[in-house]
Chain A
């Protein structure tokens, strides 16, 4: 049993924290009015080397996954939208890795410079209707300025396919949050022209589960940023002759939510540890189900944590003068990505009766 974090990860986190709080958070706010990222910020993100840590098809395997996910948490404190924009292939890496088995080597070129989106559709063959997906990146980028590497991955229960940007139509996203991801809406009329490969149901399930692992880390980072911000504010603001946090009603709620975030963090990191170590002692444990459960709990905790944070600031929390309103919106969008909490409930519930109980030794 070991809950320690390597020193190398702590060093990385120190760098990430500095970038996140000093630069990313503020640049993301500017994006809301400028609608563009400045190149220096993107370069700094790239220089941290975060995205490379999450390449499951890397020669050494997912050995750096824990570092990657912890870094994600801390970057999300800066801006979750910026992460979706800059961290590529990011949440889609596991879907890509499933495709790579079927494609020539280097098919996608330099993965760290390509744009990806992924969507889950239960039965690809029947999906001839127009479907909307959401992806990070600008309309221009998806329209080909990055070349054919701009790819939409579509996976179902038995198939995985990809469409390059020529098969897709784009328009600016109308989403309510994650502005700095510069998201676009994608639509297509038919998947018949796409390259489709058969995969097994477990692989499909695992792919969308791994995407949820990404969102879980990001949601928890956003929640932590939000509650920390509210505590700082509440420690200063005096009401009824006491600070906001000095009132027991508030302090108790903060303690509860803070603990729930911490519990979620431990659980999702434990899941990463399982991926990383393939621990024999846990061979009775279903990783996918645990990730789904973690995602559900983290989602619900994040919704309440960001809401409590906004409440603690009162009317100020509703204004763009503070970040809590942004985090409030972000979590509500993150919790509907990749099937959302409802689909995760169904996925986890479907296996609830068939699987051995986690952490029962």
Chain B
């Protein structure tokens, strides 16, 4: 067991730290104040595109995937651990701005894990260019199917023209500006999970209409959209993995989605840790510099609070890193990913709340920012499977029935 980083990763984190300080946090604060997502044509996104970030962005598995295993037995050359650490650092500066960054985002993992080599090339290669920012997205949740993913009701019917999609999706990040969206639909609701299929719906496809940009209480820097699919026809080639993927194995779109979650849950959980670390640092700075030195009882109480906060963050981060490391080793990690997602969000929320209590109203700027962090971090306990869903997954793994 060895907890250390190579030089390249350290350098990447340091670079992100600089970007975070200069761009991520100020943009996130501005988005929160104005309740407006960062506009698509913001110069910052062009800057991001020019760096080649989209091809190797946060949460991206562009360079390799489970289907392209390297010779050392690792499936993606440490990308999962890297993604966890980058997500944590990026969220330290602003989770909303981080998620708003151009790139394949959550759309990337299902394409890389379920898609054929032609599909991976077709949909992912656009992110190699550096001329302008591009986005992709992922859409699973429906108004009547959130945590209970098996209940999705968006229908996919095969026709001579292609697959016809009808239904409604919500809580899809960046889909309003995406070049394509991975949409999960069912060929027959009676088949449950076995009926799930994943399609790539491209921007401008007739019948694909963004119906609403959600007004959220936090993480406002990126758009969370709802969209409708009304007789939306997609090519046969846009069925991820092709029909053989679903017929030659026991796999379904559901397995693909779950596999995506196994990759993304540790990342999202680490985002919570990053947000909470920001709150911790603010509280620590407040205690160091703004609490009178002669307030011994108060200082003692704060010291104890701070060390408990710190311990929670350490424990949470280790769970995230272990789940990601397993994925990098091409080992099953669903159980561990859920443990990370079960533990980190409530731990992070409690750290932010505690930080807010320590600062109180004594420092207006810090107090207001901590309130933003509290609203931001609460989302982490909901997205990618609520804490309750994670408890179900963990319980299922340790309890016979």
Where the two chains meet, the residues of A that have a C-beta atom closer than 8 Å to any C-beta of B are 1-5, 66, 231, 234-235, 243, 245-246, 251-252, 254-256, 258-260, 262-264, 266-267, 269-270, 272-274, 277, 279-282, 289-290, 292-294, 296-297, 345-346, 348-353, 357-361
**Does the CB pair B306–A353 fall under 8 Å?**
yes
The answer, among B1, B311, B394, for a CB contact under 8 Å with A269, is B1
0/1 string, B293-306, CB within 8 A of A gives 1? 00000001001101
* A246-B401, A255-B342, A270-B1 known; A357-B287 Cβ under 8 A: no
- Chain A: interface secondary structure? helix
The answer, among A251, A270, A351, for a CB contact under 8 Å with B3, is A270
Q: Does residue B15 face the partner (Cβ distance < 8 Å to A)?
A: no
A residues near B319, Cβ cutoff 8 Å: 259, 262-263, 266
**Does the CB pair A259–B343 fall under 8 Å?**
yes
**Does the CB pair A256–B1 fall under 8 Å?**
no
**Does the CB pair B311–A266 fall under 8 Å?**
no
**Does the CB pair B398–A254 fall under 8 Å?**
yes
B residues near A272, Cβ cutoff 8 Å: 1
* A1-B78, A266-B322, A293-B311 known; A361-B5 Cβ under 8 A: yes
Known: A1-B5, A255-B394. 11 other contacts (CB 8 A): A234-B399, A243-B401, A255-B395, A263-B343, A266-B319, A267-B311, A279-B2, A279-B3, A293-B307, A296-B311, A297-B308
Q: Does residue B139 face the partner (Cβ distance < 8 Å to A)?
A: no
**Does the CB pair B316–A263 fall under 8 Å?**
yes
CB distance from B396 to the nearest CB of A (A): 8
The answer, among A243, A260, A280, A282, for a CB contact under 8 Å with B343, is A260
Where the two chains meet, the residues of B that have a C-beta atom closer than 8 Å to any C-beta of A are 1-5, 9-10, 13, 78, 81, 85, 277, 280-281, 284, 287-288, 300, 303-304, 306-308, 310-319, 321-322, 325-326, 329, 339, 342-343, 388, 390-395, 398-401
Query: For residue A359, which residue of chain B has the nearest CB?
Result: B317
The answer, among A2, A66, A266, for a CB contact under 8 Å with B315, is A266
The answer, among A235, A259, A348, for a CB contact under 8 Å with B401, is A235
**Does the CB pair B395–A357 fall under 8 Å?**
no
The answer, among A5, A264, A345, for a CB contact under 8 Å with B304, is A345
Give the docked Cα–Cα distance between A245 and B316 (Å). Answer: 26
Number of A-B residue pairs, CB cutoff 8 Å, is 159
Give the docked Cα–Cα distance between A293 and B339 (Å). Answer: 20
Give the docked Cα–Cα distance between A289 and B325 (Å). Answer: 25
**Does the CB pair B2–A296 fall under 8 Å?**
no
The answer, among A246, A262, A274, A352, for a CB contact under 8 Å with B310, is A352
The 9 closest A-B pairs by CB, nearest first: A349-B303, A293-B311, A255-B394, A251-B395, A263-B315, A281-B4, A352-B307, A255-B395, A255-B391
Query: For residue A295, which residue of chain B has the nearest CB?
Result: B311
List 19 A-B residue pairs with CB atoms under 8 Å apart, sorted by A's residue number: A2-B1, A2-B2, A4-B329, A231-B398, A245-B399, A251-B395, A255-B342, A255-B392, A255-B394, A259-B342, A259-B343, A270-B318, A277-B4, A281-B10, A345-B304, A349-B303, A357-B281, A357-B313, A360-B277
**Does the CB pair B277–A357 fall under 8 Å?**
yes
B residues near A292, Cβ cutoff 8 Å: 307
Give the docked Cα–Cα distance between A262 and B340 (Å). Answer: 10
**Does the CB pair A66–B399 fall under 8 Å?**
no
Query: For residue A300, which residue of chain B has the nearest CB?
Result: B308
CB distance from A256 to the nearest CB of B (A): 6
Give the docked Cα–Cα distance between A293 and B307 (Å). Answer: 7
A residues near B329, Cβ cutoff 8 Å: 4
B residues near A2, Cβ cutoff 8 Å: 1-2, 325
Give the docked Cα–Cα distance between A264 and B304 (Å). Answer: 18
Question: Considering residues A255, A267, A348, A358, which has the most beta carbons from chain B within 10 angstroms of its beta carbon?
Answer: A255
Give the docked Cα–Cα distance between A245 and B400 (Å). Answer: 8
**Does the CB pair A297–B311 fall under 8 Å?**
yes
Give the docked Cα–Cα distance between A2 and B321 (Å). Answer: 9
The answer, among B9, B303, B315, B339, for a CB contact under 8 Å with A297, is B315
Give the docked Cα–Cα distance between A262 and B319 (Å). Answer: 8
**Does the CB pair B395–A358 fall under 8 Å?**
no
* A269-B1, A282-B4 known; A353-B318 Cβ under 8 A: no
**Does the CB pair B1–A254 fall under 8 Å?**
no
B residues near A279, Cβ cutoff 8 Å: 2-4
Give the docked Cα–Cα distance between A292 and B395 (Å). Answer: 29
**Does the CB pair B315–A281 fall under 8 Å?**
no
**Does the CB pair A352–B2 fall under 8 Å?**
no
CB distance from A273 to the nearest CB of B (A): 5
Query: For residue B80, which residue of chain A has the nearest CB?
Result: A1
**Does the CB pair A3–B339 fall under 8 Å?**
no
Give the docked Cα–Cα distance between A296 and B81 (Å). Answer: 27
A residues near B311, Cβ cutoff 8 Å: 267, 293-294, 296-297, 348
CB distance from B77 to the nearest CB of A (A): 12
**Does the CB pair A4–B399 fall under 8 Å?**
no
Query: For residue A2, which residue of chain B has the nearest CB?
Result: B2
B residues near A273, Cβ cutoff 8 Å: 1-3
**Does the CB pair B2–A1 fall under 8 Å?**
yes
**Does the CB pair B303–A353 fall under 8 Å?**
yes
A residues near B399, Cβ cutoff 8 Å: 231, 234-235, 245-246, 251, 254
Give the docked Cα–Cα distance between A352 and B342 (Å). Answer: 26
Query: For residue A252, which residue of chain B has the nearest CB?
Result: B391
B residues near A234, Cβ cutoff 8 Å: 399
A residues near B5, Cβ cutoff 8 Å: 1, 281, 361
CB distance from B291 to the nearest CB of A (A): 10
